[in-house]
C-alpha cells in the first residue's frame, strides 16, 4: 500500500539510547535559505551599506555583509534541522511500543513530520487510511503529547505538531 511519504531513516542518540528516526524528504521547506530575518535584524546597517553602493560604488562592504548574513542564516538552519531530526527521533521512539497500533500511528506521525498542521480528512486521504483509523491514530498521538487539536470542535478539527512548529517559529517574532 502506497503511503505517499518519502524520506530516509537516520540513527541518533536520545537520552543515551540509539534511535532510528524518519526524516521526510520535504525538509527543509522551500526556499531552502530565507535571509529575511537576518536583514530585518540588521536593517539600518543593510540600508547604510546599500547607500554606500549607490553613492560610492562600494560593493565589497555590502557583499561582505550579505555573505556574513548567508553564513549566519545557513548555520542557524543547520541547527534547526538537527533539532528537528532529534525531535522526530524522540517522538518516534515514544510510538514504537504501541504494539499493533504502532504502524498506523507512525504513518500519521510521518505525515505530521512532513506537514505539522493537518486535518483528519487530509490524513485519511494522504495516508490511504479509513477516517476512523486516522482518527484513532491521531488520538494516540494526542495521548502521547505529540499533537494537539486547535479548533476545539467535534468536526473539521485541525491538529498541530506543536514542538515542531515551535522550533520552526523561533526567531520569527516581530522586532
State what percent of residues in the chain have pLDDT above 70. 82
C-alpha Rg value of the chain to the nearest Å: 21
Residue-level pLDDT at 10: 74
Task: Evaluate whether 65 touches 45 at the Cβ level (below 8 Å).
Answer: yes
Mean pLDDT value across residues 83-92: 93
Q: What is the largest CA-CA distance in the chain?
A: 69
Pick the CATH number of 7-169 from 3.40.50.2300, 3.30.420.40, 3.40.50.300, 1.10.10.10: 1.10.10.10
* pTM greater than the 0.75 cutoff: no
Q: How confident is the model at residue 142 (pLDDT cuts 50, 70, 90)?
A: very high
- List the chain domain ranges: 7-169
Lowest pLDDT segment from 9-23, 49-63, 152-166: 9-23
Half-sphere exposure of 39 (CA within 13 A, CB side): 10
User: Who contacts 174 (Cβ-Cβ below 8 Å, separation ≥6)?
Assistant: none
Amino acid at each position: 500500500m502506497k503511503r505517499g511519504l518519502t524520506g530516509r531513516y537516520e540513527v541518533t542518540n536520545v537520552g543515551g539510547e540509539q534511535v532510528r528516526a524518519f526524516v521526510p524528504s520535504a525538509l527543509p521547506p522551500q526556499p531552502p535559505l530565507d535571509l529575511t530575518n537576518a536583514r530585518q535584524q540588521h536593517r539600518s546597517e543593510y540600508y547604510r551599506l546599500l547607500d554606500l553602493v549607490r553613492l560610492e560604488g562600494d560593493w565589497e562592504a555590502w557583499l561582505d555583509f550579505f555573505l556574513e548574513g548567508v553564513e549566519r542564516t545557513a548555520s542557524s538552519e543547520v541547527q534547526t534541522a538537527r533539532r528537528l531530526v532529534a525531535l522526530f527521533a524522540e517522538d518516534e521512539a515514544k510510538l514504537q511500543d504501541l504494539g499493533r497500533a504502532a504502524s498506523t500511528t507512525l504513518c500519521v506521525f510521518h505525515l505530521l513530520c512532513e506537514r505539522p498542521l493537518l486535518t483528519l480528512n487530509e490524513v485519511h486521504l494522504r495516508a490511504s487510511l479509513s477516517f476512523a483509523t486516522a482518527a484513532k491514530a491521531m488520538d494516540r498521538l494526542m495521548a502521547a503529547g505529540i499533537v494537539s487539536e486547535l479548533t476545539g470542535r467535534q468536526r473539521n478539527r485541525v491538529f498541530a505538531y506543536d514542538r515542531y512548529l515551535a522550533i520552526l517559529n523561533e526567531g520569527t517574532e516581530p522586532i
